[in-house]
Structure 1
Amino acid sequence: MFSDVYDVIVVGGGHAGSEAAAAAANMGSKTLLITMNLQNIAQMSCNPAMGGIAKGQIIREIDALGGYSGIVSDNSAIQFKMLNKSKGPAMWSPRVQSDRMRFAEEWRLMLEKTKNLDFYQEMVSGLLIEKNQVAGVRTSLGIDVKAKSVVLTNGTFLNGLIHIGDKNFGGGRAGERAATGITEQLIELGFDAGRMKTGTPPRVDGRSLDYSKMIEQPGDAQPEKFSYLDITKPLEEQRSCHMTYTSLEVHELLREGFDRSPMFNGRIKSVGPRYCPSIEDKINRFADKDRHQLFVEPEGWNTVEVYVNGFSTSLPEDVQYKALRSVRGFEQVKFFRPGYAIEYDYFPPTQLKHTLETKLVQGLYFAGQINGTTGYEEAASQGLMAGINASLKIAEKEPFMLKRDEAYIGVLIDDLITKGTEEPYRMFTSRAEYRTLLRQDNADFRLTPKGYELGIASKERLRRMEEKESRARAFVEFFKDTSVTPEEVNPILESKKSAPVKQQDKMFKLYARPNITIRDMKKIKSVASYMDQNNLDSEIIEQTEIQVKYAGYIEKEKNNADKLNRLENVKIPLNFDYSKLKSMSMEARQKLAEIQPVTISQASRISGVSPNDISVLLVYLGR
């Protein structure tokens, strides 16, 4: 069946696996995607949504590089929201509510149209290894499939164990079996492994809910979209979500089941995501709060199934049901299925290089929850990077890595490799020190030229980006070069309670005032004329406004990034012996020897390595 040697085999068809397979195939690698169920490619195992705080920036970055997640999200969206719009543009984060069934279908169809990509449905039970080099995979039927590289994206399936109250059973997701064999082999090869936990809420019948008792949460009046390409369109129609609250009565009913909770009786020993706690964890940790928000999210355009966001739980099903019936609007609720927790194996990501290739086995890459992350977006971005680097390695080309000032993807991978994680890692804007540079609106400027160079971003994508950049730059220059008289501008300034000017001044300076918008500037004839003549769309106008108003902040962050990037150029020799640096702390020597950073900059970000330790290292390297 498999006489040829594949360039890349991707194990697992979730968000990480789908992006890895697409990237490798689009770069010309002969690629095979093996997954346990081809009907569940890119399944939304948890909430039916893409994007959100920092996660929306990641989807824009994936799209800018030429990945599929942005296009699929746009084509299956039922609602769009730009979060944090009341804050500065560095915090704006796009999010869509998705049609779960259409999302998976869109992914499947896009992958089927991708050249160089084959599919096979079976469980991979082991890896073929020859002299510390991966040589392929072995399936549960005993079929060996040869490959030059392998990307593992096993999600929550490695020895997955599902918990509902005092019941537990093997599974990688509700209704699907766990994957076995790989963890044990990797441990034999010398890898460290751990266990993590995640959870999901009950799914309920929307026909049994009383939405009149809830607060409606509509989408944006003028919805945008994720993809920079024209092949997707903003939504013309949207479905609303709703919001309701728990109560003290609900909390008491939930507490009655705590003695049967696997989280509290010791049955679950692993750590769950800090920023997405279960409802029982919230009640326990925030005992002073008498209510918690619940977001009632439709699972699609036509289905009646509803996701109860904020009610993630592993309590017994009878306790879940009784408590949820006491929530306002849920008095007559009918369950589709109860919530559950799942424990699964992961491998601490400090065992990886920045390319996501393992340090122990050449040609073997890890992406997604196997690295201890949580979230579709985090997984998809890792899959994309692993697929890219697997292809580059086969072609004997330089690896592709993104720095912390280039992308949230760069921040995510650097955090994982240098700091590791002992709880499921989730991306936040606060994790990025250069978030003014890493905005959702400029991901194409930052990354599309790189994606085009790699061969995954199309010529059309590059052309659109260059045209947008050129037109926005020209509009900024117009404001810098054009002056305005007090007679023209003072009525506008006075109407906005902004100080009037006494002499002619450049428009850039006036437009940079925080309370002056493009609507105000358009009242000036020369501005209105320029905009009409050049037919500027909202994307160009928004980009120009950000570059004018935040010019000082952007310049400052660029300078800070440039300073730090000088340390990125100071390389540390491969297999450097840190034990001889006696002036360095023992903890630093151990951490540096374990992680083997490539540059001084990476070394400085490792937990337990102090500035003094870095000074010792710089002196030794003659710097």
Structure 2
Amino acid sequence: MSLFTTTYDLIVVGGGHAGSEAAAASANMGAKTLLITMNLQNIAQMSCNPAMGGIAKGQIVREIDALGGYSGIVTDKTAIQFKMLNKSKGPAMWSPRAQSDRMQFAECWRMMLEQTENLDFFQDSVNGLLFEDDRIVGVKTALGIEIKAKAVVITAGTFLNGLIHIGEKTFGGGRAGESSSTGITEDLVKKGFEAGRMKTGTPPRVDGRSLDYSKMEEQPGDEFPVKFSYLPTTKPLTEQRSCYLTYTNQKVHDLLREGFDRSPMFNGRIQSTGPRYCPSVEDKINRFASKERHQIFVEPEGWNTVEIYVNGFSTSLPEDIQDKAIRAIEGFENVKFFRYGYAIEYDYFPPTQLTHSLETKLIKNLFFAGQINGTTGYEEAAAQGLMAGINAALKVQEKEPFILKRNEAYIGVLIDDLITKGTEEPYRMFTSRAEYRTLLRQDNADLRLTPKGFEIGLASKERMERVLEKQRKTDLLISFLENTSVKPEEVNPILAAKELALVSQSLKLFKIATRPQLAFDDLLVISSLKQFIDDNFIDAEIIEQAEIHLKYSGYIDKEKNNADKLNRLENVLIPSSFDYHKLHSLSIEARQKLTKIKPTSISQASRISGVSPSDISVLLVYMGR
């Protein structure tokens, strides 16, 4: 049955972070888009912690924003606290993170999507896919309605055959209080896709009025908070809500161990792999038995709600064990539960079955994004959704795919890791995964990516103009520092205050500014510099760009050179029909892995696990290099 007379350019299945970004991107690029989700009230819901950003994740949100996505704007509009993490380290490690008001976050996302042209909505569950040979042509819903489309993006989150575990209780569901989704996995497996199972979990939510915060350490936001979006849609927070820090103890651990025999993780009922870097509390005390305590972050869910997210206490233990153990944590003695923690198992599809555009190799015009690809985290999902939406729109418009390289964005690292290396556990982004992280800083995401977003028709003219102005003023300030001298009597008082060696002759300002012991703010007492900054309306963002350029130019240039070498290998393309089995000099493992993944370039081939440098040499020789 088909009640829809329109054939859409794109159907997005799922309204989480991936689906919302995919729908917004494709619609803003002119593709007639339909977003289908099981519950329109839960669009972009924060299923787990009420926060965006963090180590490496904050860089991803900045990149999404720079390209023209919505996540940064929504986060800024709904933030209740902002922190820049790792400020004691170099700028490559600085990572923005914001606590959000959970209810406002979902509402803001929906309002922004409803105001997006070319975007329609439909509430139903998709339980079937429509194919014509090796091409997808639409979807079928639980109501039996067939909806046709030129391309489909599946962003099913944890809903594909989702199974929730609390102690010895098990029931179907994609999230607490919501049913799971069936049919999609089965249709894809019939088409030859490989599927697997993964697991994630969430902690209890409790009543903040029942906690004793005097026994905890207050964790306020930054004194001078910034924000995620490069657009002036909101101003930085002037009021913030604090989080709090407390700890587990030996009594908590002993009480938790009492339930291990009823734990689905330890009695074999959960067979799938959970996130290594966000383990459940029972997994932590089991794996790190010698550790006397673990951190518990007490995070408010919003401005006006009393609901609290107990970060660090993710668990699927029986509810009576959860209840006893959490009361042994300082400050939680009289806790009242809103809901218990649980684990959830769900289907995913190993991402080596995708191309760099996130299109599946088996079925044309079918794209996957988010947890279906084996990732974890709102930010990773949103980035994939954005890229899948962009590339699905480009495919329909018969244009070349939009692919970010590893030296261009954390998003490029994320997607390349997934499709080249695959993942057998929920993938999470870290700065350590990016070999060019000095280039991929959170502060320069707009300079790196907004021109690219503008070129494909996603980033607005306003964004592009702001980037050009930022670059112009940064260059202007750097030029002033490189060409303006400062006399000893002007700079020596600054150096003396820092107990640094004094100078005996005039020096260019940039030589003073590059000293690691000096911050740029220390130099603002120099009259010529202060006058220049005032005359040219140089703000803190421009000063930060110039300071990073001056202090880290050697590292930046080295990484650029390394990236150029990598890109030369990216230009050595491998035909998709290449027969690796005819190259007997390749190792057997390399032949098998290369045949399965079908890398598009020598560079990608070199990153495949099991492909050795000697295998790459064989390929280069064969291709005349």
TM tier relative to shorter chain: over 0.9
Say yes or no: does 1:509 pair with 2:507. no
* Number of aligned residues: 623
Corresponding residue number in structure 2 for 1:497: 499
Deviation at 1:142, TM superposition (A): 1.1
Corresponding residue number in structure 2 for 1:337: 339
Corresponding residue number in structure 2 for 1:461: 463
Task: Name which of 187, 192, 195 aligns with 2:189.
Answer: 187
Corresponding residue number in structure 1 for 2:143: 141
Corresponding residue number in structure 1 for 2:308: 306
Matched residue type, 2:44: A
Matched residue type, 2:68: G
Task: Name which of 388, 391, 394 aligns with 2:393.
Answer: 391
Task: Name which of 104, 122, 128 aligns with 1:102.
Answer: 104
SS at match of 1:522: helix
Deviation at 1:535, TM superposition (A): 2.1
Matched residue type, 2:341: G
> Which deviates further from its counterpart, 487-496 or 279-288?
487-496
SS at match of 1:449: helix
Corresponding residue number in structure 2 for 1:436: 438
Q: Take 2:446 and 2:589, find their aligned partners in 1: how far apart are those partners?
A: 41
> Which deviates further from its counterpart, 434-443 or 533-542?
533-542
Corresponding residue number in structure 1 for 2:375: 373
Q: Take 1:194 and 1:168, find their aligned partners in 2: how far apart are those partners?
A: 19
Q: Which residues of 2 match residues 496-575 of structure 1 at below 5 A?
A: 496-575=498-577
Q: Take 1:249 and 1:395, find their aligned partners in 2: how far apart are those partners?
A: 61
Say yes or no: does 1:326 pair with 2:328. yes
SS at match of 2:275: coil
Corresponding residue number in structure 1 for 2:223: 221
> Which deviates further from its counterpart, 457-466 or 347-356?
457-466
Task: Name which of 602, 616, 619 aligns with 1:617.
Answer: 619
1:441-468 superposed Cα distances (whole Å, 9 cap, x missing partner): 0000000011111111110111111101
Q: Which residues of 2 match residues 59-74 of structure 1 at below 5 A?
A: 59-74=61-76
Matched residue type, 1:319: I
Matched residue type, 2:561: N
Corresponding residue number in structure 1 for 2:349: 347
Corresponding residue number in structure 2 for 1:34: 36
Deviation at 1:504, TM superposition (A): 2.1
Deviation at 1:494, TM superposition (A): 2.1
Matched residue type, 2:414: L
> Which deviates further from its counterpart, 96-105 or 484-493?
484-493
SS at match of 1:554: helix
Corresponding residue number in structure 1 for 2:261: 259
Q: Take 2:236 and 2:524, find their aligned partners in 1: how far apart are those partners?
A: 25
Q: Which residues of 2 match residues 69-148 of structure 1 at below 5 A?
A: 69-148=71-150
Q: Take 2:378 and 2:44, find their aligned partners in 1: how far apart are those partners?
A: 9
Q: Take 2:576 and 2:326, find their aligned partners in 1: how far apart are those partners?
A: 56
Deviation at 1:520, TM superposition (A): 1.9
Matched residue type, 2:262: R
Q: Take 2:573 and 2:533, find their aligned partners in 1: how far apart are those partners?
A: 49
SS at match of 1:550: helix
Corresponding residue number in structure 1 for 2:364: 362
Matched residue type, 1:189: K
Matched residue type, 2:219: Q
Say yes or no: does 1:159 pair with 2:154. no
Deviation at 1:398, TM superposition (A): 0.8
Deviation at 1:498, TM superposition (A): 1.9
Q: Take 2:6 and 2:180, find their aligned partners in 1: how far apart are those partners?
A: 29
Deviation at 1:330, TM superposition (A): 0.3
Corresponding residue number in structure 2 for 1:44: 46
Matched residue type, 1:234: P
Corresponding residue number in structure 2 for 1:446: 448
SS at match of 1:434: coil
Say yes or no: does 1:596 pair with 2:595. no
SS at match of 1:359: coil
TM-score normalised per structure 1:
0.99
Deviation at 1:140, TM superposition (A): 1.1
Matched residue type, 2:552: Y
Matched residue type, 1:51: G
Q: Take 1:429 and 1:96, find their aligned partners in 2: how far apart are those partners?
A: 18
Matched residue type, 1:289: K
RMSD: 0.7
Matched residue type, 2:323: Y
Matched residue type, 1:442: N
Matched residue type, 1:450: K
Q: Take 1:102 and 1:379, find their aligned partners in 2: how far apart are those partners?
A: 20
Deviation at 1:342, TM superposition (A): 0.1
TM-score normalised per structure 2:
0.99
Corresponding residue number in structure 2 for 1:487: 489
Deviation at 1:573, TM superposition (A): 1.2
Corresponding residue number in structure 1 for 2:251: 249
Deviation at 1:519, TM superposition (A): 2.1
Corresponding residue number in structure 2 for 1:290: 292
Q: Take 2:570 and 2:485, find their aligned partners in 1: how far apart are those partners?
A: 42
Matched residue type, 2:217: I
Deviation at 1:473, TM superposition (A): 1.1
Matched residue type, 1:406: E
1:39-96 superposed Cα distances (whole Å, 9 cap, x missing partner): 1000000000000000000000000000000000000100000000110000000000
SS at match of 1:398: coil
Q: Take 2:521 and 2:150, find their aligned partners in 1: how far apart are those partners?
A: 57
Say yes or no: does 1:202 pair with 2:204. yes
> Which deviates further from its counterpart, 451-460 or 53-62?
451-460
Q: Take 1:205 and 1:405, find their aligned partners in 2: how far apart are those partners?
A: 45
Matched residue type, 2:350: P
Q: Take 1:232 and 1:446, find their aligned partners in 2: how far apart are those partners?
A: 22
Q: Take 1:491 and 1:302, find their aligned partners in 2: how far apart are those partners?
A: 50
SS at match of 2:389: helix
Structure 1: 5+ residue stretches without partners: none
1:241-290 superposed Cα distances (whole Å, 9 cap, x missing partner): 00100000000000000000000000000000000000000000000111
Corresponding residue number in structure 2 for 1:413: 415
How many percent identity over aligned positions? 75
Deviation at 1:501, TM superposition (A): 2.2
Q: Take 1:474 and 1:537, find their aligned partners in 2: how far apart are those partners?
A: 13
Q: Take 1:144 and 1:452, find their aligned partners in 2: how far apart are those partners?
A: 35
Say yes or no: does 1:276 pair with 2:278. yes
